[in-house]
Structure 1
Amino acid sequence: MSIEPYEVFAVRYGHNAAATRAHNFFGGDAHDGPMPLDYFVWVIRGNGRTFVVDTGYDEAMGAKRSREFLRSPGEGLKAIGVDPSAVKDVIVSHMHFDHCGNYNLFPAAQYHLQDIEMGYATGRCMCHQALRVPFEEEDVVAMVRKVFAGRVTFHDGEGEVAPGITVHHVGGHSKGLQVVRVFTRRGWMVIASDASHFYANMEQARAFPIMHSLEDTLEGYNRLYALASDASAVIPGHDPLILERYPAAAPGLEGIVVRLDADPT
């Protein structure tokens, strides 16, 4: 490959301390206990470009959904020299509230989304309360407005966002969920987002309970590993262990931004 490896960062902006093991596995867990979630957006940087994966929720949404709001994702981005107003490409893994909010934070960005996710979030499935719970009306409407403004690039299955960066539809957790494969110094890394909330979900083949399809969720774990150069290069969407396994992006950013293309501990 003629391109240089990309740098990849996880930016922590939220937390849910109340979650337990019973909340995080389909069918519960026989050994229930605390199992908190962290909330991240991700940055891919290199070859003269910067990409943001997912956009998080804001303070008001954190209060509505009883999630701790630690800082604006924009604040975390600026800590590593990324100006949200200058970002040209945002990849949205799926349209749940914690992945596509802050929709005015990136005024210059083109958004990358799966066709099927937009159809899911605006179609007949949203007539069912159980399926629409993770979605927010205003988030979906904001994305529709971006479509009419010419600011959404749709992908059907697999697609290239840039050389060395591709998206891959896996579904499962949400019907149109996509993961991001990126070339790094460690080889191919996969930002799994909610294709696996925790390392334990994919390592133990035990699904997170919020899903569109159990079959697609479980098959998705195999897909994640197949896309990555190594199992350790699959990055789950909400696991606090990420902050333990990877170094801070810079002194003073411990617990806020970690460098994912560094060697994990």
Structure 2
Amino acid sequence: MNYTTDHNKQKPDWQDPEVIVVRYGTRQTTKSECYYNFRAYREPDAEITMDYFFWIFRNADQTIVIDTGFSPEAAAARRRQPVVSPADALARLGIDPLEVKLLVLTHAHYDHAGNLGLYPNAKIVMSRREFEFWGADMGQRPQYAHHIDPLDIQRIQALHRDGRITLLDERRNTLIPGIELFEIGGHTPGQMAVVVEMPEGPVILASDAIHYYEELELDRPFAVLDSLADMYQGYEQIREWLQRPGAVVIPGHDPEVMNRFAPVDPSDPSFAVRIDASGAGV
């Protein structure tokens, strides 16, 4: 599969497009744990919830999965609370992982790159900078390595040897007409955001370029970072995208996402939300 760096926007001719945000895990944490140098804000600490998501784009012709969540082993080791397994979530959405042909890894942290074995027939796309960093000595330093699962990295490397991973060299790439991948960095060396050109406006799947809405609103960097300057520059890029008509942004871990968009299953609103051609938000 070839990926282009054509920056001209191509209006996609999709039937029934939708972006789905699946909430697969959660935990309780604090602001001081989540925000870099939190004491600089001279605010009292507070408990907050961190949710864990992966994302799906689909239309009448194809399904693309964006990130794969943490593995059961990683959840147990880090005391994260799964709320639905990715396999069960896919089944609820009528998606057979064996039929998924295209998968995007925005970065290789444990909560975004587990469960790759669910998708044996998928071609995988990720940033070359991200891939190479975790195979280098620097990526093994404790302050970096704490945020990965070594088994995930070994699987990624094996999949690359098998020819199933395409590594992107450019900062901006067209995945398919209407979906662009932007390497932002900041959180990790090759962190990518995904911009989907939906009929009502772009849906910005920020992944961990921003974790919470207030991270962007208050210009408040997250605690886990590779480059503070790149993280700030990433905020500027997202703010620029948000100037476009109809644009919405989906942070990587904010529970508020589940309140801002329409539930896939109204009887279980905490499972998943949908952004579709109607611009469905609540």
TM-score by length of 2: 0.89
- Give the count of matched residue pairs: 264
The one of 55, 63, 68 equivalent to 2:68 is 55
Residue 9 in structure 1 maps to residue 23 in structure 2: no
Q: Distance in 1 between matches of 2:150 and 2:73?
A: 14
The one of 252, 260, 263 equivalent to 2:275 is 260
In the alignment, what sits opposite 1:193?
207
Residue 241 in structure 1 maps to residue 271 in structure 2: no
**What is the deviation of 1:230?**
5.1
**What is the deviation of 1:248?**
0.7
Matches within 5 A, 1:80-99: 80-99=93-112
**What is the deviation of 1:79?**
1.3
Give unmatched runs, 5+ long, in structure 1.
none
Would the aligned equivalents of 1:58 and 1:69 in 2 still touch at CA under 8 Å?
no
Sequence identity (%): 30
51-60 vs 76-85, which moves further: 76-85
Q: Which 4+ stretches in 1 moved above 3 angstroms?
A: none
Residue 178 in structure 1 maps to residue 188 in structure 2: no
Letter in structure 1 aligned against 2:227: S
Letter in structure 2 aligned against 1:169: E
**What is the deviation of 1:101?**
0.3
Would the aligned equivalents of 1:14 and 1:39 in 2 still touch at CA under 8 Å?
yes
Q: Distance in 2 between matches of 1:68 and 1:174?
A: 24
Letter in structure 2 aligned against 1:196: I
Q: Distance in 2 between matches of 1:230 and 1:214?
A: 29
Q: Distance in 2 between matches of 1:109 and 1:121?
A: 22
**What is the deviation of 1:192?**
0.2
Structure 1 residues 248, 116: CA separation in 2 closer, same or farther (over 3 Å shift)? same
**What is the deviation of 1:207?**
0.5
Q: Distance in 2 between matches of 1:196 and 1:127?
A: 24
Letter in structure 2 aligned against 1:171: G
Q: Distance in 1 between matches of 2:241 and 2:123?
A: 25
In the alignment, what sits opposite 2:228?
214
Structure 1 residues 112, 202: CA separation in 2 closer, same or farther (over 3 Å shift)? same
TM-score by length of 1: 0.95
Structure 1 residues 178, 255: CA separation in 2 closer, same or farther (over 3 Å shift)? same
| SS state at 2:38 partner | coil
Letter in structure 1 aligned against 2:225: M
In the alignment, what sits opposite 1:22?
32
**What is the deviation of 1:227?**
3.1
Would the aligned equivalents of 1:38 and 1:238 in 2 still touch at CA under 8 Å?
yes
Would the aligned equivalents of 1:21 and 1:31 in 2 still touch at CA under 8 Å?
no
221-230 vs 176-185, which moves further: 221-230
Would the aligned equivalents of 1:11 and 1:77 in 2 still touch at CA under 8 Å?
no
Would the aligned equivalents of 1:113 and 1:153 in 2 still touch at CA under 8 Å?
yes
| RMSD of aligned residue pairs (Cα, Å) | 1.5
Would the aligned equivalents of 2:261 and 2:274 in 1 still touch at CA under 8 Å?
yes
Give unmatched runs, 5+ long, in structure 2.
1-10
| SS state at 1:212 partner | coil
Q: Distance in 2 between matches of 1:255 and 1:60?
A: 23
Q: Distance in 1 between matches of 2:179 and 2:201?
A: 12
200-209 vs 247-256, which moves further: 247-256
Residue 69 in structure 1 maps to residue 79 in structure 2: no
Measured against aligned partners, the alpha-carbon deviations of 1:134-184 in whole angstroms (never above 9, x if no partner) come to 011110010011101111111121111111011000000001100101011
